[in-house]
Structure 1
Amino acid sequence: MRIKYNVAVVGAGISGSLVCRHLADAGFKVTLFDKDRSAGGRLKNLLLDGQAVDIGVPYIPGDSELLNGLKQRWLDEGVVTPWTVPVYDFRANGEPFVREEKTLFLGVERQSVLTDTLLQGVDLVGDTRVVSATAEDGWYLRCHQGETHGPYDFLILAMPAPKVALLLKEFPGLQAMARSVQYIPCWTSVLEFEEPLDPGFDVAHASDRFNGFPGLNPLYMLVHHNAKPGRKAAKDTWTLHWCARESLEYKDVSSDEISERSLIALEQLLDRPLPAATVHNQHWLHCQAIDRLNENSYYLDSDIHMGLCGDWFEPGGLVGAVASAEGLATAVIKAIQR
């Protein structure tokens, strides 16, 4: 009779959630740890007047072959809905133009439902920040409240590289590898307008993600929350994603300054005064890894029973995170069943 492996996964974003799903489907006992109360990572949402507003990944791209299998799974489970919408860009003179019409996909009611459905039957230990991982006749995880969990037969860290480095003090080589990864942060602003903004489009994003819209505008993407199928909001709500260049330049400023700059940037882009608005900001410190770490889309050490995954191995945001998780899950299952 095969031993039922006990696996610990740290990080409940899309990578960690997908690894958990594959391992649980393969018959392993999986426990997932995350510093937040619920899963989601960059699929998280902001609650405004009791309504969930997407503040991370705004939609699932419909044209990525790497996501086809996962997207079909979500469609079969009824947790995603298609959204066909013209995607606009801006010319240098500030005039919007239709770049293309796309079919995008959204989690029903909120993006984090996509990770929730992956974690059915998985033990999630939320509100728990893991501060160290030690290997001593199995893996033990010490958490910020002081308690220790373990032993586990296998450990998977599905976290940004700087957070991985903090946990692997006993493994200097792996710690140095994680510390070598450079990230671009990102500011995201959610604007609640007292009156409809009505710019003539619902989605716009710049061709150049690093530099944003023309005229040194700090914004890279605008998404109309109220236009998304199944979404509700008490006010006309828009999500503004900053470009990498400006997010780097303003990574250390206050949220109040970001609110002011977001309003100015949108007003300049639309070339007209804005209705009164309330602004909420999210600062993603580890938004985008700059370079692919190595030839593989993940890291696996079968000798110490530990694996790493995330978009710092396979850049590309959500697509890279999914590719890394699926690659690692397949490799771990083969290693354990060998």
Structure 2
Amino acid sequence: MKKRRTVAILGAGMAGATAARTLADAGLTVQVFDKGRAVGGRMATRRSASLQFDHGAQFMRAHGSAFAARLAAWEKRGIVAPWVGSERWVGVPDMTAPVGDLLAGLSVRSATTIMRIRRDDGAWYLDDAGGGVHGPFGAVAVTFPAPQIAALLDGSGYALADVGRASYAPCWSVMLAAEGGLTGGLIEPREDPVGLIASDASKPGRPEGVRLTIHATAGWSRRHLEEPRETIIASLIEAAARQLRVSLRPTHAEAHRWRYAQVETALDVASLYDPALGLGAAGDWCLGARIEAAYDSGAALARTIAADLNGDA
């Protein structure tokens, strides 16, 4: 029986967006689902009134030729720009811009949580948290953090080998607006509790003002993962002031808990795919703790799915 040339992509971060664009360019129909209100995944930007914070991944680097070429193309179009040195790149006007560009013109359903995937008569169907059903699809590509993939597959009665081996470190992130002047762009103390302090205004295309993103270290975040946000905010602001040697007078502060912030154990494979089911998975957890790894993994999975559904495998 001829396979349906439609693919459901679960997750609208870099891996999912790259997979979606690669599949669409190969002539397949894609539908992207994401539980967030906006695309980007951990390449996230938070807005509160007139304030803006990149509170997830702060920058991108390219180690390989494929992602370097993509960054160069994005730079020409104003989607990315260099920041605090030529090796670091940021999205413009925020970190979601590269993912948004990959998904431009494609079908994306945000604020849609997929609770279960199921196979019926050779096709895939998705059940969402609101009772909706989506399908049929010829293949499903899941690009969540590995523990979330494992939970979805287990609850749906399916499995992909080795997903459970990948592990992540958590991270508390504090978004701080403050009075006064502050110079500098990025420091990485990597001393408990502060792993990184980034000045949003120092990035190209951002509004002026003192807006800091403070990322806690993995170890400190793990030890304090369940503490109240107010406690986290106070601790990280105090520590950041010590690192910066300034008095921070907050006008706005909020915290975000990333349970799956950075890959600690990767599988060292490009992606996972079961051709008998038409079920695959991709993400930075396949190749390493980099945005580039998510890009490469999503592209690899898409090429495998395209070959399968186009009959070239």
Task: Tell me the residue number matched to 1:134.
Answer: 118
Question: Where do 5+ consecutive residues of structure 1 fail to align?
Answer: 86-100, 207-211
Aligned mates of 2:94, 2:245 — CA distance in 1: 31
Q: What are the within-5 Å matches in structure 2 for residues 203-214 of structure 1?
A: 203-206=186-189, 212-213=190-191
The one-letter amino acid of 1:203's match is L
Task: Tell me the residue number matched to 1:124.
Answer: 108
Whether the 8 Å CA contact 2:62–2:292 is kept in 1: the answer is no
Aligned mates of 1:56, 1:328 — CA distance in 2: 24
The one-letter amino acid of 1:147's match is G
Whether the 8 Å CA contact 2:60–2:292 is kept in 1: the answer is no
Task: Tell me the residue number matched to 1:335.
Answer: 308
The one-letter amino acid of 1:260's match is A
* TM-score, structure 1 as length reference: 0.85
Task: Tell me the residue number matched to 2:297.
Answer: 324
* TM-score, structure 2 as length reference: 0.91
Aligned mates of 2:284, 2:141 — CA distance in 1: 14
Whether the 8 Å CA contact 1:66–1:319 is kept in 2: the answer is no
Q: Does residue 223 of structure 1 match 2:198?
A: yes
Task: Tell me the residue number matched to 1:96.
Answer: none
Aligned residues: 308
Q: Does residue 262 of structure 1 match 2:236?
A: yes
Task: Tell me the residue number matched to 1:88.
Answer: none
Give the match's secondary structure for 1:140. Answer: strand
Task: Tell me the residue number matched to 1:296.
Answer: 269
Task: Tell me the residue number matched to 2:81.
Answer: 81
Mark the CA change 1:276 to 1:158 in structure 2 (over 3 Å): closer, same or farther.
Answer: closer
The RMSD of aligned alpha carbons is: 2.1
Report the Cα offset of residue 308 of structure 1: 0.3
Question: Which deviates more, 12-21 or 30-39?
Answer: 30-39
Question: Which deviates more, 280-289 or 132-141?
Answer: 280-289
Task: Tell me the residue number matched to 2:217.
Answer: 243
The one-letter amino acid of 2:14's match is I
Aligned mates of 2:62, 2:3 — CA distance in 1: 40
Aligned mates of 1:222, 1:61 — CA distance in 2: 18
Task: Tell me the residue number matched to 2:286.
Answer: 313
Task: Tell me the residue number matched to 1:165.
Answer: 150
The one-letter amino acid of 1:21's match is R
Aligned mates of 1:184, 1:32 — CA distance in 2: 26
Q: Does residue 279 of structure 1 match 2:253?
A: yes
C-alpha deviations, 1:64-83, integer Å up to 9, x for none?
64520221231243311223
Aligned mates of 2:269, 2:87 — CA distance in 1: 30
Aligned mates of 1:159, 1:276 — CA distance in 2: 34
Whether the 8 Å CA contact 2:26–2:306 is kept in 1: the answer is yes
Mark the CA change 1:269 to 1:218 in structure 2 (over 3 Å): closer, same or farther.
Answer: same
Query: Percent sequence identity over matched residues?
Result: 27
Mark the CA change 1:327 to 1:81 in structure 2 (over 3 Å): closer, same or farther.
Answer: same
Whether the 8 Å CA contact 2:283–2:298 is kept in 1: the answer is yes
Aligned mates of 2:124, 2:81 — CA distance in 1: 40
C-alpha deviations, 1:52-102, integer Å up to 9, x for none?
32111112226664520221231243311223x2xxxxxxxxxxxxxxx54
Task: Tell me the residue number matched to 1:92.
Answer: none
Whether the 8 Å CA contact 2:55–2:175 is kept in 1: the answer is yes
Mark the CA change 1:203 to 1:186 in structure 2 (over 3 Å): closer, same or farther.
Answer: same
Give the match's secondary structure for 1:146. Answer: coil
Mark the CA change 1:114 to 1:241 in structure 2 (over 3 Å): closer, same or farther.
Answer: same
The one-letter amino acid of 2:172's match is W
Task: Tell me the residue number matched to 1:209.
Answer: none
Aligned mates of 2:245, 2:96 — CA distance in 1: 34
Aligned mates of 1:6, 1:304 — CA distance in 2: 14
Aligned mates of 2:141, 2:101 — CA distance in 1: 20
Choose which of 128, 131, 137 in structure 2 pairs with 1:146.
Answer: 131
Give the match's secondary structure for 2:225. Answer: coil
User: Which contiguous aligned blocks of 4+ residues in structure 1 show a shift greater than 6 angstroms?
Assistant: none
